[in-house]
Amino acid sequence: MSTRKLGILGFGTVGSGVYESLEKERKRVETLAGFFTIPVVVVKDASKARATGPDTLVTDRLEALFEAEVDTVVEAVTDAEEAYPAVRKLLQKGISVISANKELIARHGEELHLLAAGSGSRLFYEAAVAGGIPILTSIRHTLKTNRILRVEGIVNGTSNFILTKMREEGTAFEAALEEATALGYAEAVPDKDIDGWDAWFKTTILSFWINGAGPEWTEERPQGIRGIDVRDLHLAEKLGGRIKHVASLEGTKASVGPKLVLKDHALYGVEGVNNGVYVEASLSGPLLFQGPGAGKFPTAGAVIEDVINHWTNTAEEEPPFTEPAPAEEEPFPYWFITGSAVPDELEPVSRIVESDGKYGAVVRRRPEGKALAVLGCPEEVLQPV
């Protein structure tokens, strides 16, 4: 068996985590997939000291990957547009790429898959959707005889941490965001997390993975968690629920935004920085995948699993387009609203609750403007008042 050559493009949290994990688990990896080397790490600033061994060249030259004749590259660049031309070139040259870059895959995945198919290379991205949770592999490999009827996920740990912190401790949004940034859960510029774009990209990937096509969005853009205050979270609690930032995909219909999750729903207990993905499958029924959605080593672990699956030829092929399961006409028959009053014409189906001068209720009719869809809400859960 020939020795595999792996290159790493980007050496931040994920890239360095992959390197450290591969060296730490070298004996196990080589038992599974054969001998390997990491001859090149490509970074933006090669003058900075990096924790690599003497046999690994650290350089700012992309061409070094081709000169070293690597067969596989881990792409761990944080900026999608910076990564795009490099990944294109690698795939065109027949070098397989394992990526953790959700924006890159969401925006350019279809084109990159075509490039890979034309050159005999492969493109993998398990870590791009839910960090350490193997949701893509599970759907493709262990649920391939099922029709995926619905996916609902908490796929952004930053938003989940902030909402949990606000609800449990009464922390204001800005203070919770500041703490998330200090702990490394949020980027220095956290807009894509808290405004919903991170979850939007991940939902796009899931739709292509399941249906072979992008989603039909119910809104032109995602809804984030700005504007949710502590009173909203307390009102939700009084009705037996929690506000979570949820990505939903039913058939090809998709949405991203805050939703009221009642106790009967599997996502109710997904707290803090954890991610959770709830899948309804035609044969297997309801399933919940839960765990760390980010972090250095959970994400690195998902990347390395893709590497080993590729090297051992155990990764599933990309499926052809399949007709998605039909979506219900009205997937969310109930809505949660808060404000200075709850109008009778919206047909409340819960008691009206109050928190510090703000009122809330679950209603049957969606009002004009902002309202949160309710998950885990069969008719018997909330009875008309």
Residue 283 lies in a domain: yes
210 lies in the same domain as 95? no
**In degrees to the nearest 10, what's the CA dihedral of 305, 8, 80, 130?**
20
58 lies in the same domain as 83? yes
CATH of residue 157: 3.30.360.10
Residue 98 lies in a domain: yes
145 lies in the same domain as 248? yes
pLDDT number for residue 295: 83
> Which domain range does residue 69 map to?
4-125
Catalytic positions, please? 202
Residue 15 marked ligand-binding: yes
287 lies in the same domain as 150? yes
Residue 192 lies in a domain: yes
pLDDT number for residue 169: 97
CB 229 within 8 A of CB 173: yes
pLDDT number for residue 384: 43
Residue 120 marked ligand-binding: no
CB 274 within 8 A of CB 159: no
pLDDT number for residue 385: 42
Q: What SS3 string covers the chain?
A: CCCEEEEEECCCHHHHHHHHHHHHCHHHHHHHHCCEEEEEEECCCCCCCCCCCCCCEEECCCHHHHHCCCCEEEECCCCHHHHHHHHHHHHHCCCEEEECCHHHHHHHHHHHHHHHHHHCCCEECCHHHHCCCCHHHHHHHHCCCCCEEEEEEECCHHHHHHHHHHHHHCCCHHHHHHHHHHCCCCCCCCHHHHCCHHHHHHHHHHHHHHHCCCCEECCCCCCCCCCCCHHHHHHHHHCCEEEEEEEEEECCEEEEEEEEEECCCHHHHCCCCEEEEEEEECCCEEEEEEEECCCHHHHHHHHHHHHHHHHCCCCCCCCCCCCCCCCCCCCCCCEEEEECCCCHHHCECCCCEEECCEEEEEECCCCCCCCEEEECCCCCCCCCC
- Among the candidates 73, 105, 125, a domain finishes at 125
157 lies in the same domain as 119? no
Residue 10 marked ligand-binding: yes
> Which parts of the chain sit beneath pLDDT 50?
384-385
pTM, whole model, 2 decimals? 0.92
Residue 12 marked ligand-binding: yes
What is the rounded distance in angstroms from the CA atom of residue 133 to the CA atom of residue 152?
14
CATH of residue 102: 3.40.50.720
188 lies in the same domain as 283? yes
66 lies in the same domain as 208? no
Residue 14 marked ligand-binding: yes
Residue 303 marked ligand-binding: no
Residue 367 lies in a domain: no
CB 153 within 8 A of CB 290: no
